[in-house]
Amino acid sequence: MDRVTQEILDRLREINSVPRCSGHEERISNWLKEWALENGLNVKFDSVNNVLISVPASEGYEGLPVVVIQGHMDMVCEKDPDSSHDFSRDPIEQYIDGEWLKARGTTLGADNGIALAMALVLAKDKDLPHPPLELLFTVDEETGLTGASELMQDFVSGRLLLNVDSEDEGVFVIGCAGGSNTVIRLLLEYTPVSRGHVTYILNVSGLAGGHSGVDIHEKRANAIKILAKVLDTLFLEFDMDIIDIEGGSAHNAIPRHAEALIAISPDEYENVISMIRDIERDMRSEFHENDPSLSIGLAEKTGNNKSLSLGKDIAKRMLGLLMQLPHGVAGMSEDVPGLVETSNNIATISIEDNDLVILTSQRSSKEQGLAEITRRIEDISGSAGATTLNNSAYPAWQPDPDSPLLQRCRDVYKDTFGEEAAIEVIHAGLECAVIGSKYQDMDMISFGPTIKNPHSPDERLHIPSVLKVWAFMTALLASFS
């Protein structure tokens, strides 16, 4: 492995030793501040722990426009069901497998730790020519673009922004979808668990999951939707009590696991198992390409001390709500071939006190599309007697094909590699959308090394692509002379 790539991966390992789940970036923010001071660089931070590190221009590049290199500190903290990893204290265990960097049983955190690692290596290299730089590291991108949303007008001075948070090397992203979340609450009613019933855990597992923006078009199974189908089928056929339900982990992750606590008569056990096997077979057939390890299990729950279950009417309304809520692609773009225009992710489900709580995450590149899918969710929820609250909205980033920065990037990429970079608009959300709404004269582009399966324990970083992005980025910065 070449020296630069090794240095970047070593720096990523340091970053991955600091806990940084979304919403808990205090330690990584402090780590970055200390790093800047140790290296003699000016650093400032704001009330939400966004960090800005200023790097002086190289000799001969003084007086040029400031270039902002931007990434986010937080990571989606997902792990395998059998993993004992504690994200609040344990380092991410990264390792090399051929051309790929992976993690043992957890998300890798290359999304977006690799942006931090590359920026810090760049800042420390005294031999690289570049204009004055601002390294902008934001918090809580994954759960609501919070850091970008809280940026003050005077926090950043540069008006050329390189967002290093795209996941296909050789692709320049110049636009993205907007989005919002909806919290659905259904007030629950309880009744005693049926006499003589035995308690079981019904679980859906083994799914690929993935990013609800990047992977939503790939027809990956949603564990919450499959669990709802199983429960709905069993509820119609058997005298079944539903005691508890939970699933999913984050608004922008397709749920990989979901489970329900149910109670059935032991006399019906074999028939219930037979029906579960039939559904599992059908689901494996439907999702065989992307979710070959899909599994539906039923295991007796010992030591259960819950004596109440959902009343039959409220259970029926809950299952009707889950069955009707849309998941996946709702519409494709008429302007950009192959681009998902509108989608919804049924992201998490849980019971909190006396409420069933469901979180959905909507995306669309069109304001009308976002409003329509959100209204559909509101209407379905209202029909079931549930309330809705929409939050965490962010705008779409409208592409500017005439951007001077884009043209410079295209020229540099072709000069460096002898081939054209692809230009894309994506369905995932990027902080550029929010940053652009705050600094309306900001010229922006997004790129990055190749990352597969972000937001899942199968996340992996293509190591050779790191060097290509480094070569492009350093050539781009040198070109401003």
Q: pLDDT digit string (tens) for 136-175?
A: 999 999 888 999 999 999 999 999 999 999 999 999 999 9
Give the pLDDT band of residue 305 (cuts 50, 70, 90): confident
Q: What is the pLDDT of residue 1?
A: 83
Residues 110 and 208 in one domain: no
Residue entry with tokens 């970055």: 32
Cα 437 from Cα 458, distance rounded (Å): 33
Q: What is the pLDDT of residue 195?
A: 94
Domain final residue, candidates 331, 361, 394: 394
**Structure tokens given for 278:** 């039939």
Domain final residue, candidates 394, 410, 425: 394
Residue entry with tokens 């007030």: 187
Length of the chain: 481
Q: Measured between alpha carbons, how far apart are the two ends of the chain, in Å?
A: 30
Q: What is the pLDDT of residue 304?
A: 74
Residue entry with tokens 């209407």: 379
Backbone phi, then psi, for 194, in 5-degree steps? -55, 135
268: CATH: 3.30.70.360
Q: Is the pLDDT of residue 279 over 80?
A: yes
Q: What is the pLDDT of residue 235?
A: 98
Cα 111 from Cα 16, distance rounded (Å): 11
Contact 272, 199 (CB under 8 A): no
Contact 180, 149 (CB under 8 A): no
The set of catalytic residues is 74, 141
Residues 162 and 283 in one domain: no
Task: For residue range 396-437, list pLDDT tens digits in order.
Answer: 999 999 999 999 999 999 999 999 999 999 998 899 999 999
Give the pLDDT band of residue 306 (cuts 50, 70, 90): confident
Q: Is the pLDDT of residue 481 over 80?
A: yes
Backbone phi, then psi, for 472, in 5-degree steps? -65, -50
Q: What type of residue is 228?
A: A
Strand order from edge to edge, sheet including 451-452: 94-97, 100-103, 460-462, 451-452
Cα 73 from Cα 343, distance rounded (Å): 26
Contact 252, 347 (CB under 8 A): yes
Residues 348 and 229 in one domain: yes
**Structure tokens given for 412:** 């540099």
Q: What is the pLDDT of residue 81?
A: 84
Closest of 117, 167, 135 to residue 8, by C-alpha: 117
Residues 20 and 91 in one domain: yes
Q: What rounded mean pLDDT belongs to the chain? A: 96
Residues 225 and 107 in one domain: no
Whole-prediction pTM value? 0.84
Task: For residue range 210-230, list pLDDT tens digits in order.
Answer: 889 889 999 999 999 999 999
Give the pLDDT band of residue 177 (cuts 50, 70, 90): very high
Q: What is the pLDDT of residue 239?
A: 96
Residues 389 and 401 in one domain: no
Cα 192 from Cα 452, distance rounded (Å): 47
Helix (H, G, I), strand (E, B) or coil at 421: coil
Cα 304 from Cα 124, distance rounded (Å): 56
Residues 135 and 266 in one domain: no
Domain that includes residue 463, residue range: 3-177+396-478
Residue 46: other Cβ atoms inside 10 A: 15
> What is the number of structural domains in the chain?
2
Residues 217 and 356 in one domain: yes
Residues 219 and 367 in one domain: yes
How many angstroms separate the Cα of 172 from the Cα of each of 136, 214, 404? Answer: 19, 15, 13
Domain final residue, candidates 339, 363, 394: 394
Residues 47 and 64 in one domain: yes
Contact 77, 52 (CB under 8 A): no
Q: Is the pLDDT of residue 336 over 90?
A: no
Helix (H, G, I), strand (E, B) or coil at 303: coil
Alpha helices in 199-268 (DSSP H): 223-237
Q: What is the pLDDT of residue 303?
A: 79
Contact 359, 389 (CB under 8 A): no
